[in-house]
Amino acid sequence: MASLLDRLPVSPAMFYLPIGYILGPAVSGLINVAPDQHAELLTALAKMALLLSLFTVGLKLRMPFRARIWRLPLRLGVLAMLVTIPLLTLAGMFMLGLPPGAAILLGGILAPTDPVLASDVQLKDVGDRDRIRYSLTGEGGLNDGTAFPFVMLGLALLGVPSAAAYIDTYAVLQVAWGVSAGLVGGWLMGWLLGRTVVGLRRRFRLALGMEEFLGIGLIALAYGVTETIHGIGFLAVFAAGVAMRRIESTNSGQQELDVAQYQTVVDSVPVSGKEEIATHPAKASAYMTETVLGFNQQLEQFAEFVMVTLAGILLSHVGFSAAGVLLALLLFFVIRPLSVALALIRADVTPLQRRLMAWFGIKGIGSLYYLVFALQYPWLAPAGFHSAALAPRLTSLVLTVVAMSIVLHGISSTPLMEMYQRRRRR
């Protein structure tokens, strides 16, 4: 369907979602997956999809850190997050009547953005310097990790023992360590592995082949080691991807990336010449990075298909939520624009760019992961709230918001970005 979808103003996710819904118990009943009963398996699947997405995002961000454009994803991924979660928490408590722990959990689940589900707002290639696409792509890589402490805080307030550390005296230090260990540890592992492979190839013609699976190994290494030292593994995987890209940009120079040349390096070289390119002093790093990126993007598309179809199946099981529709409208048209406006105060963006960044707060794999992650644990609601009804209600709310995001943002992404490009050319 890819060649057909490329000609239409829709995203592939808009087709995957109804397919999942039809497969689910609300229509055909071919697949019946209960979110709470299969939460552990769903968490593993969603984690793999999210890790692939985060590493791929990191590989796309080529600009040096001293470039001013990096301030935009940092503002959106951190500052906008710190505004979005409290506003969603207030909405959950006073509009939906949720207890504080569940409201904070709802905010942490719905705050992360996912630009993967609308390809028109992603970076088109690693040489793309468009502020909107760079900002939204970088934001999606950062805020999936920065939302983790808030999810754990919500679970701690719901009586989950493994999250209790997030409400004790040293909670702030634990969060600071988790963020620092994630970013620094992931960067170091990505940098060391990338430099080692490139060095072995250049000097000794060793460590050749299997470039496609180098990224998979680095994802596992960065996530596993960082989680072992109590860092945030999602931030580590994102940082590892950025580090691998920085090795390439440093070796290739900071000039504008010649996309055609790199595609020639990766795709058009005869099989017999691959080893020569992989060991070439000037092209070894580019060949490694672009091959890893190309393979991961294909895996990412497959993961998108699986997870959005799964979201449709889960929604078919729990049903739509009228309150979720109202929450989605509040999030898309009030909370997201307000958080972006505050995060981008005095930022170097045009009014049109600011409005488009505010609109494209897409919800997807990150929100789905944190939902099923939270469902693994039994929740204890405070007095006056029914514990057994809390998880199904939150599940229906989240899946309704994700479904509305897939539809609304999928329909609007192509025409809005085409309008933006026309105005840029003028």
Tokens 């944190």: give the residue.
370
Asked whether the predicted pLDDT for residue 267 surpasses 70, the reply is no
* Rounded CA separation 276/268 (Å): 13
pLDDT tier at 273 (50, 70, 90 boundaries)?
Answer: low
Query: Crossing angle, helix 171-204 and helix 233-252, to 10 degrees?
Result: 40
Domains of the chain: residue spans and CATH: 2-425 (1.20.1530.20)
What residues have CB less than 8 Å from 422, skipping those under 6 apart? none
Q: Comparing 32 with 259, which gets the higher pLDDT?
A: 32
pLDDT at 200 over 60: yes
Higher pLDDT, 47 or 120: 47
The chain-wide mean pLDDT, for the chain, equals 90
Structure-derived torsion over alpha carbons of residues 296, 298, 303, 304, reported in degrees to the nearest 10: 120
- DSSP at 385: S
3 alpha carbon, distance to own chain's centre: 25
In one-letter notation, the amino acid at residue 281 is P
User: Would the pLDDT of 255 be above 60?
Assistant: no
- Residue 232 banded pLDDT, cuts 50, 70, 90: very high
Q: Which pLDDT value is given to residue 107?
A: 97
User: Residues 179, 232: contact at Cβ < 8 Å?
Assistant: yes
Asked if residue 318 lies in contact with residue 402, where contact means CB atoms within 8 angstroms, the answer is no
Higher pLDDT, 104 or 413: 104
Statement: residue 123 has pLDDT above 50? yes
CB 113 within 8 A of CB 362: yes
Tokens 């109590």: give the residue: 230
* Local confidence band at 98 (pLDDT 50, 70, 90 cut-offs): very high
pLDDT value at position 285? 86
**% of the chain residues with pLDDT over 90:** 70
Over its C-alpha atoms, the chain yields an Rg (Å, rounded) of: 21
Residue 118 pLDDT greater than 90, yes or no = no
Give the model confidence (pLDDT) of 349-396 as tens digits: 999 999 999 999 999 999 999 999 999 999 988 877 877 889 999 999
| pLDDT at res. 70 | 94
260 vs 335: which has the higher pLDDT: 335
Tell me the C-alpha distance between 103 and 86, whole Å: 9
pLDDT score for 260: 45
Which among 360, 339, 355, 398 has a CA at the least distance from the CA of 82? 339
Cα(89)–Cα(95) distance, rounded to whole angstroms? 10
334: DSSP letter = I
Find the mean pLDDT for residues 170-193.
Answer: 95
CA distance 350 to 25: 47
Enter the tokens of residue 182: 């994630």
Residue that wins the pLDDT comparison between 23 and 67: 23
Query: Can you give the pLDDT at residue 34?
Result: 92
Between residues 2 and 54, the one the model is more confident about: 54
Pairwise CA distance, residues 407 & 403, whole Å: 6
| Residue 274, SS3 per DSSP | helix
> What confidence category does residue 71 fall into, taking pLDDT thresholds of 50, 70 and 90?
very high
What does the pLDDT read at residue 347? 93
Task: Give dist(CA 378, CA 391) in Å, integer.
Answer: 9
What single letter denotes the amino acid at residue 351? Answer: P
Query: Residue 148: pLDDT above 80?
Result: yes
d(CA 14, CA 29): 20
Ranges 54-58, 275-279, 412-416, most confident: 54-58
Higher-confidence position of 128 and 26: 26
Position 226 pLDDT exceeds 60 = yes
Amino acid in the structure at residue 321 = S
Give the percent of the chain with pLDDT over 70: 94
CA dist., res. 415 & res. 233, Å (int): 36
The per-residue pLDDT for range 305-330, each reduced to its tens digit, is 999 999 999 999 999 999 999 999 99
Residue with tokens 């939906």: 96
